[in-house]
Amino acid sequence: MSLHGQGAIAMWWDIAPDIRSEFEDWHTHEHFPERMRIPGFNRGSRWSAVDGGEGFFVMYELDAYETLISRGYLDRLNAPTPWSTKMMPHHRHMVRSQCRVLESTGGALSRHALTVRLSPAEGASERLRAHLRALARSAAASTGIAAGHLLQNQTPKIAATTEQKIRGGPDPAADWIFIVCGYDRSALERFAADHLGDPALVKAGACREAIHGLYALSHSNTCLLYTSPSPRDS
């Protein structure tokens, strides 16, 4: 698979302009290093909305879906740092999907990420998955595009964590997530217009009103960066 593992966390939220600088500092220098030290976390990537708005898309690639219920991860969720405790309430309109990777092809990450949040219509799951599998492979072979991925949310049955409580309760989740990564924004926009509009997706077996977002890569880390202390640990 192109993504690093069989599990993933996909998240969307907004950050107000007056807290954005501190958020990016915290997320880059404390939060990502903390997550990347958890066994089973392979890579974390953050994208920001291409329109200059307040939205972010974040994805963690995990060894396995079971990493989501591992002791290492749950311990961190239930013991946030003081800085995390300060920043978590600023995650507005949070959507957090804990996923199995259904399909992944191509080069994993690139300059831009197009995300589509959707659900299969009743009885159409296999038909929609086959359509999106073919679409991911077609996308990854297209000029200006590098990869296509399909994730399916499966929220673990665990007690509410301290981080969730700080954010105000359970986070809503997207059901299926189709992600297309590319180095040419215009190519992604054409691909979305040709293949990912409501008429095309409904015909393939999706429910109406999929939610689209286009993002630019802001920061990405892998677990390999944290085999030694962070510069800020000294």
Written as six digits, the tokens of 231 are 């510069």
Using pLDDT thresholds of 50, 70 and 90, give the confidence band for residue 107: confident
3-state secondary structure of 167: helix
Q: How many helices (H) and strands (E) does the chain have?
A: 8, 8
pLDDT averaged over the chain? 93
Query: Nearest 5 degrees, angle CA 41-CA 153-CA 127?
Result: 125
What separation, in Å, do the N-terminal and C-terminal C-alpha atoms of the chain show?
A: 36
| CA distance to 28, 50, 99, 126, 168, per residue, from 8 (Å) | 19, 23, 5, 21, 23
pLDDT of residue 228: 47
Cα–Cα distance for residue pair 40/7, rounded to 1 Å: 9
Please report, to the nearest 10 degrees, the dihedral formed by the alpha carbons of residues 204, 205, 207, 211 taken in order: -40
Is the CATH number 3.40.50.720 carried by domain 7-227?
Answer: no
| Global confidence as pTM | 0.93
With CA atoms as reference, report the closest residue to 12 among 110, 101, 115. 115
Q: For 207-230, how does the pLDDT look when each residue is reduced to its tens digit (9 = 90+)? A: 999 999 999 999 999 886 544 455
